[in-house]
Amino acid sequence: MVELHRVGVEQYRLSVKLPVTVVLDNVRSEMNVGSVFRTADAFLIERIVLCGITPQPPKAEIHKTALGAEDAVDWQYYPTTLEAVDRLKQAGYIVCSVEQVHDSVSLDAFKPDPAGKLAIVMGNEVKGVSQEVVDASDYCVEIPQHGTKHSLNISCCAAIVMWHLYCQFQ
């Protein structure tokens, strides 16, 4: 770890994080959840909010892909994503769902307020972000795609969005 200039869990917990919370809306796969934890760790995301059927640590498949990041990145659980979104809005967060909808903003054009707090909602592997959560969101962003498929795996999508936000907040 020293030669890679990596910090330990305790030092990571004390480090300054981006004012970004990632919300997982009924994500089914433990491996996808683990990947989101690992990426959140890499880009100093303040926390992950797990909602509905989204698996929670400790789980073997989460650990397999998170490689311990589930111990470093703060997380919370809410029974419904709408409850989590309501709580985040009450706490002053701008809520942005990552979904292909009418009037969504292309991710490359999305410029969050660097002084604000942002919650990014990632949806279920098949159904995406639920409509009620989309309706409750302040914005929706989508990743431009030009191939034959019009969706990305949640872990890939989350990584692209977190990288974009990391660059925006630097």
pLDDT at 57 exceeding the cut of 90: yes
Q: Quick one: pLDDT at residue 117?
A: 98
For residues 42 and 109, the answer to whether their CB atoms sit within 8 Å is no
pLDDT above 90 for 168: yes
Contact criterion met (CB below 8 Å) for 160 and 38: no
Sign of CA dihedral 126, 131, 135, 136: negative
- The pLDDT score that the predictor gives to residue 170 is 85
In angstroms, rounded to a whole number, what is the distance separating the alpha carbons of residues 120 and 47?
11
Query: pLDDT exceeding 70 applies to what percent of the chain?
Result: 98
pLDDT tens-digit series, residues 59-85: 999 999 999 999 999 999 999 999 999
Give percent of the chain with pLDDT exceeding 90: 89
Q: What is the pLDDT of residue 159?
A: 98
Coil vs helix vs strand at 37? helix
Average pLDDT, the chain: 95
DSSP state of 17: -
Domains and CATH numbers, the chain: 9-169 (3.40.1280.10)
pLDDT at 5: 76
Which pLDDT value is given to residue 24? 98
pLDDT at 3: 61
Residue 94: per-residue pLDDT: 98
CA 99 to chain centre: 13
Tokens linked to 149: 């498929």
How many Å apart are CA 1 and CA 91, to the nearest integer?
36
Per-residue model confidence as pLDDT tens digits over 102-156: 999 999 999 999 899 999 999 999 999 999 999 999 999 999 999 998 889 999 9
